[in-house]
Each structure stands twice: as structure tokens, then as C-alpha cells.
Structure 1
């Protein structure tokens, strides 16, 4: 199957036919891994979810958030019943 490359912002994009998407088991928003083959081709595979990488990312985000007072306690004190 021949596909057409299109401009998307400053990048190029390739539309993947629905049949291929279903067979690959991917959906909008999923991440894929792209690599170049020896003969100059492009190989695109569904990215496997990496639990350790996710945990590292989550820890980094958590470390970036300042600790403060509980929002729940603040809401309880301001709540009117």
C-alpha cells in the first residue's frame, strides 16, 4: 500500500489506514516506537508500557509539586452546611 506524507506544523505526518491500526492494536494517543531499518525503511511498532519508566516519571512529577496544606481540610473549614 502506498501512503502519502503530509505536512503537520513543522513536521511531516503519515496517516495509518484503519485496518493497520486495528491489527497493530493501537489507538489515538498511544505511543509508538519508530526505528530505521538497515535498508533505509521505517519500522513503526506499538510501544510497550514500561512500568519502571512510568514510576520514574511519576516520581519526578511528584518531586516537582510543592507540599502544602490539605485542600480537603481547607474545603471543610470553608464549607457551609
Structure 2
């Protein structure tokens, strides 16, 4: 895909502490609207490449994930109810 003012670039892998890192070119950052602290999702592709995509917080996806986690929780006695039952007044 060609985006006006943003062309394919060859990037150099650099050492960053004990890891390796790529710098994201400023034109890419501007086009995607990224800022420091934003998160991206990296995946390996079947052809041996790396796909990096911007992640945006999705309220619906979060609600679905929360609902599925809640369904997986065992239904047990409330901690508060247990404290009240064992409390000494």
C-alpha cells in the first residue's frame, strides 16, 4: 500500500539494553498518529515476516473479555460475608 509521503524503508536493528530494537520512522509515526507510550501488537507472519499494528482501546472488546473472565470465575461465598460470619463483636 502506498501512502503519500510515506514510502517503504529499510530499517536497521540496533541494540537496546539486552534486547534488539527498531526505530519507527517519523513519517510512519505521524501518519499513524502514534505517541510515546502507545501500544502496538506484533505478530509473526506465515512467510517469516513481522506484522506490527497499532492497538486502540476497544470498549466492546474489553467488555466481552471481562464477561468471559467473570463467567470463568467460580461462584463462592463473598469475602465480606465470610468476614461478617467469623467476626467477633
Normalising to structure 2: TM-score of the pair?
A: 0.54
Larger radius of gyration: 2
As a proportion of its length, which structure holds more strand? Answer: 1
Moved over 2 A (4+): 50-53
1:33 aligns with 2:41: yes
Show the counterpart of 2:28: 20
Give unmatched runs, 5+ long, in structure 1.
57-81
**Secondary structure of 1:2's aligned partner:** coil
TM norm structure 1: 0.59
| Cα distance between partner residues in 1 of 2:43 and 2:33 | 18
CA distance in structure 2 between the partners assigned to 1:8 and 1:50 by the alignment: 31
| Number of the residue aligned with 1:48 | 56
Aligned length in residues: 54
Alignment partner, residue 3 of structure 2: none
